[in-house]
Amino acid sequence: MAEKRIDWTRLSTLVSVAILVGTEVVGASWAAGWAIGGLMQLPRAYSLVIEIVFALLGFAALAVFIKSALRHEPIKV
């Protein structure tokens, strides 16, 4: 059985999409945490905790996206 090789076109596409989607998802989730803390007029420490939690949720969503993208567009062919 031949060893699978990396398809560099697919890899570069996946990296580009991960950067684009990651920036959008993590940025939007972080901003949502900031907005919720501001709307509820929470102290800065509580608002920061909400921002961090939302940012971590954004990173988790990015990980799910990348896993799904790899399943549909394998790098090794």
Question: Domain for residue 66, yes or no?
Answer: yes
Q: How high is the pLDDT of residue 4?
A: 87
Question: Domain for residue 27, yes or no?
Answer: yes
Q: How high is the pLDDT of residue 67?
A: 95
Question: Domain for residue 50, yes or no?
Answer: yes
- 48: its two tokens: 């920061």
Chunked mean pLDDT (size 10), the chain, 77 residues: 88 95 94 95 96 95 95 90
Q: pLDDT of 4-21, one tens digit each?
A: 899 999 999 999 999 999
Question: Domain for residue 1, yes or no?
Answer: no
Question: Domain for residue 9, yes or no?
Answer: no
Question: Domain for residue 39, yes or no?
Answer: yes
Q: Provide the domain limits for residue 41.
A: 20-71
Question: Domain for residue 67, yes or no?
Answer: yes
Query: Which residues in 33-64 are b (16+ Cβ under 10 Å) and which e?
Result: bbeebeeeeeeeeebeebbeebbebbeebbee
Classify 3 in phi/psi space as left (phi over 0), alpha (psi -120 to 50) or beta: beta
Q: How high is the pLDDT of residue 77?
A: 85
Q: How high is the pLDDT of residue 3?
A: 86
pTM over 0.95: no
Task: Quote the number of domains for the chain.
Answer: 1
